Amino acid sequence: MSSRRRAASGAPLRDTALGAAIVLGALAAPGAAHAQSAIIYGSVSNFDISNDTGRICHGFRIDLDGATQNQSPYSFNAERYGTPRSEPYSGGISVIYESPRNPLTGAFTERTLPHTVPWFPGQCYQWNPLTYQDSGCEHFGTARGPERITAARGRWLCEDPDDHTVIAPVEPPTAVPFPSYSIQPPPAANQPPAVVIEIPAPVPPRPAPIPQYGDASWIRVFVTEMEREVNLDELVADNPAVVPMDAAQLESDWDLLQADPPGEGGGNHRQKRNGRDLKPTTRSVVRRIETYEYTGAYDPINHLALCADGTCTAPAVDEVGDLVSTQMTAVNVQSDSLTVTRSGTGPATSTPPTR
């Protein structure tokens, strides 16, 4: 890997398989004992995000509900704003990317322009100078330990229209989803556990006199597994060796995400949930989540998306807008046991191999 992708701050995730409790099942001839659970060691998320605010921005903020100061995440910093700072708030931690200022004038020295040019992989990266400066998009990301983040939001930090020396978070939050992971126990003995991803609707309900749904987005999800852990710097759109983007890796196609009105949680628009059985050799599950604008009709009263197909599972051509974000996310896991096999009277073998 080139040095351009080794700029994440903080300690890297462990490169070797992490130790876990070893459970040896009864040996059969032939036979096997399988993993009954798994451990999550952490998750990493890098995303490309367009500046669709229509304003000149000078930074980005990621709010992580449930994180604490001693769990402060480390972050991707190979972008124009450099290493972000972490600030606690009531109930979580903010990761804040912000431009330096000219010490004499107070003006910001870095900026992200409004996104106006066609998007293609790698456009948002500092190591592509022909496209990066005026691309209107950026690449941010964080890595964290096994703690569960209850909610996350990303907001551009943009100029005040009346004072270009002041920046503030733009509402609503950007349409980049921040997934969470959990382990689902096996439904029966000798079956594998599942790694479950939950993808929440990133844009909250709209404020209005009557309850309303949030703005809708389309997502497409690609997935792959690796027999080693994945670190933050590997999750970039020009790294197909790690990031799934081939049609054969498509996990789900054209799901609609839309936040439910306050007090009406649990609707099938609110979030998407995918599970994947964990192989004994798997050390990371990597997903690429593409988010597109929903440009179809809305109910004029409650802002519910009114898809042409009636189910919001097969968008019409005029219902899919621009690509807004590409979230590249991985969870690092390990089974808490081995698969041990013996054939006849030969030696026992295990997956993964014992040391």
pLDDT digit string (tens) for 77-87? 999 999 999 99
- List of residues 6+ apart from 217 with CB closer than 8 A: 175, 177, 201, 202, 203, 256, 257, 258, 291, 292, 293, 294, 324
Give the pLDDT of residue 342.
54
| 333, 285 contact by CB (below 8 A) | yes
Read off the amino acid at residue 6: R
Domain carrying residue 340:
34-351
In a domain, 225, yes or no: yes
In a domain, 312, yes or no: yes
Read off the amino acid at residue 187: P
Give the pLDDT of residue 344.
57
Give the pLDDT of residue 207.
79
Place of tokens 């100029």: 159
What's the pLDDT tens digit per position in 189-239?
A: 888 888 999 998 888 888 778 889 999 999 999 999 999 999 999 999 999
Give the pLDDT of residue 127.
92
In a domain, 197, yes or no: yes
Give the pLDDT of residue 237.
92
Helices (H) and strands (E) in the chain, counts: 1, 20
The secondary structure element, H or E, covering residue 199 is strand 194-200
In a domain, 18, yes or no: no
In a domain, 159, yes or no: yes
Alpha helices in the chain (DSSP H): 129-132
Read off the amino acid at residue 217: S
Give the pLDDT of residue 19.
31
- List of residues 6+ apart from 288 with CB closer than 8 A: 221, 222, 223, 243, 244, 245, 326, 327, 328, 329
In a domain, 155, yes or no: yes
| 117, 136 contact by CB (below 8 A) | yes
- Integer Rg of the chain from CA: 22
| 55, 111 contact by CB (below 8 A) | no
* CB atoms inside a 10 Å sphere around CB 227: 12
Give the pLDDT of residue 20.
28
Residue ranges in the chain modelled with pLDDT below 70: 1-36, 72, 264-270, 336-355
| 45, 327 contact by CB (below 8 A) | yes
Between CA 303 and CA 313 the distance in angstroms is 18
Between CA 226 and CA 283 the distance in angstroms is 6
In a domain, 223, yes or no: yes
Into how many domains does the chain fold? 1
Between CA 156 and CA 76 the distance in angstroms is 16
In a domain, 12, yes or no: no
